[in-house]
Amino acid sequence: MDIRFEDKVVVITGAGGGIGNAMARGFAADGAIVAVCDIKGGDKTVEEIVAAGGRAKEYILDVTDIDCAHRIMGDIARDFGGIDVMINNAGINVGPDKRQFTDEFDDEWWDKILDVDLNGVYNCTKAAVPYMKGREGSNIINISSVVGMVPFRRQCAFNAAKAGVINFSKAMALEFAEYGIRVNVIAPGSVCIPVTQTLWTKNTALEGLLSHIPQHRQGSTEDISYAARFLASEFASYITGTVLNVDGGWICGYARDF
Ligand SMILES: NC(=O)c1ccc[n+]([C@@H]2O[C@H](COP(=O)([O-])OP(=O)(O)OC[C@H]3O[C@@H](n4cnc5c(N)ncnc54)[C@H](O)[C@@H]3O)[C@@H](O)[C@H]2O)c1
């Protein structure tokens, strides 16, 4: 199975961050032209891709701003002729210091998280779809989380937003099949990115976390990149409306003896 995206236009939001950067580098290595969209930090991703001989362009995009989403998707389509793959990856969550039960949860953080993690998917998808119609193999991948299916305590907004992304994606899969556009979800477990690396090494909770994961390790950003490239490829052409957990088996059951 030789996955290639030669000359396909792949848009990735949050592509300046850990998982977005790995996906952008991976798609570019497979021949894609990558539109690196982020509110900040996309220039580093573009530099890495270009240094490796790939093609990428940075776009400053705030996914919470629908006008900005329409403008940027229009710019990308004008620059490269259309959009083949749309990956809604931008996301935020509260840090450990802000984690509270719902009755104590910070209202501003509720709004911020829902705005980026759920409204952002709506805004960018709505803006991208007109440029995806009629392009063979076009598809959308939304990055949710295992918490979209099995919630954690003290993270009500992230739980709600990521669950919303899953059901919303299934609804879009039903609709956009009419346009020949597939829609799928990746639900990462705990993925090691620079920010969480610091969190986990500072915090002895790592062992506790890993004891719940059957494979006893965190995922890498490459694990998510491989999954995205499979789902976006022609080899997944009969897959739509699905959720692919990339979580080391974390939510398939209880890794416990009772
Ligand atoms: N790392 C994990 O363990 C993990 C687990 C489950 C799900 N996820 C999901 O994976 C996705 C990527 O997260 P990550 O781990 O790479 O985190 P990250 O913080 O490294 O990357 C997120 C990126 O989103 C960008 N962003 C934030 N707000 C934005 C906005 N309004 N508009 C545009 N871009 C914006 C940030 O600048 C950042 O570059 C997120 O949706 C996250 O919820 C991550």
For the stretch 62-104, pLDDT in tens is 999 999 999 999 999 999 999 999 999 999 999 999 999 999 9
Percent of the chain whose pLDDT exceeds 90: 91
> What distance in Å separates the CA atoms of residue 20 and residue 27, rounded to the nearest whole number?
11
In a domain, 205, yes or no: no
Residue whose CA is at the smallest distance from ligand 1 atom 25: 14
Residue pair 188/166 in contact by the 8 Å Cβ criterion: no
Confidence (pLDDT) at 51? 98
**pLDDT at position 199 over 80:** no
> Which of 214, 140, 123, 203 is CA-nearest to residue 175?
140
Mean pLDDT of 228-244: 98
Q: Which residues form the domain of 238?
A: 9-193+222-244
pLDDT band (50, 70, 90) for residue 203: low
**pLDDT at position 204 over 90:** no
Mean pLDDT of 229-249: 98
**pLDDT at position 46 over 90:** yes
In a domain, 74, yes or no: yes
pLDDT band (50, 70, 90) for residue 157: very high
In a domain, 68, yes or no: yes
Confidence (pLDDT) at 58? 98
Residue bearing tokens 């952002």: 120
* Least confident residue range of 4-8, 207-211, 247-251: 207-211
* Pocket probe mutation, ligand 1, options 39, 243, 250, max atoms within 8 Å of Cβ: 39
Instruction: Say if ligand 1 is within 6 A of residue 92 CB.
Output: yes
In a domain, 32, yes or no: yes
**Residues contacting residue 84 through CB under 8 Å, at least 6 positions apart:** 5, 8, 9, 10, 32, 132, 135, 137, 138, 139
Mean pLDDT of 158-170: 99
Instruction: Say if ligand 1 is within 6 A of residue 17 CB.
Output: yes
CATH of residue 121's domain is 3.40.50.720
Confidence (pLDDT) at 196? 72
Atom of ligand 1 at shortest distance to CA of 195?
Answer: 20
Q: How does the average pLDDT of the chain come out, rounded?
A: 96
CA of 90 to the centre of ligand 1 (A): 4
Counting other chains too, the contacts that 225-230 makes at CB distance below 8 Å and 24 or more residues apart are: 225/19, 225/22, 225/23, 225/25, 225/26, 226/26, 227/186, 228/23, 228/26, 228/27, 228/87, 228/141, 228/186, 229/3, 229/5, 229/23, 229/26, 229/27, 229/30, 230/3
Q: Is 187 helix (H, G, I), strand (E, B) or coil?
A: strand
Task: Name the amino acid, one letter, at 4.
Answer: R
Residue pair 20/38 in contact by the 8 Å Cβ criterion: yes
In a domain, 256, yes or no: no
Mean pLDDT of 15-36: 98
Residue pair 186/144 in contact by the 8 Å Cβ criterion: yes
pLDDT band (50, 70, 90) for residue 202: low
Domain count, the chain: 1
In a domain, 150, yes or no: yes
Mark 137-170 as b/e (b = at least 16 C-beta within 10 Å): bbbbbbbbbbbbbebeebbbbbbbbbbbbbebbb
Confidence (pLDDT) at 208? 87
Interval 116-136: pLDDT, tens: 999 999 999 999 999 999 999
Instruction: Say if ligand 1 is within 6 A of residue 219 CB.
Output: no
In a domain, 201, yes or no: no
pTM of the model: 0.98
Angle at 126 between CA 124 and CA 130, to 5 degrees: 115
CA of 1 to the centre of ligand 1 (A): 29
Instruction: Say if ligand 1 is within 6 A of residue 197 CB.
Output: no
In a domain, 139, yes or no: yes
Confidence (pLDDT) at 258? 87
H or E stretch at 109: helix 107-114
Alpha helix segments (H runs only) across 177-255: 194-202, 205-212, 221-232
Percent of the chain whose pLDDT exceeds 70: 97
Residue pair 224/182 in contact by the 8 Å Cβ criterion: no
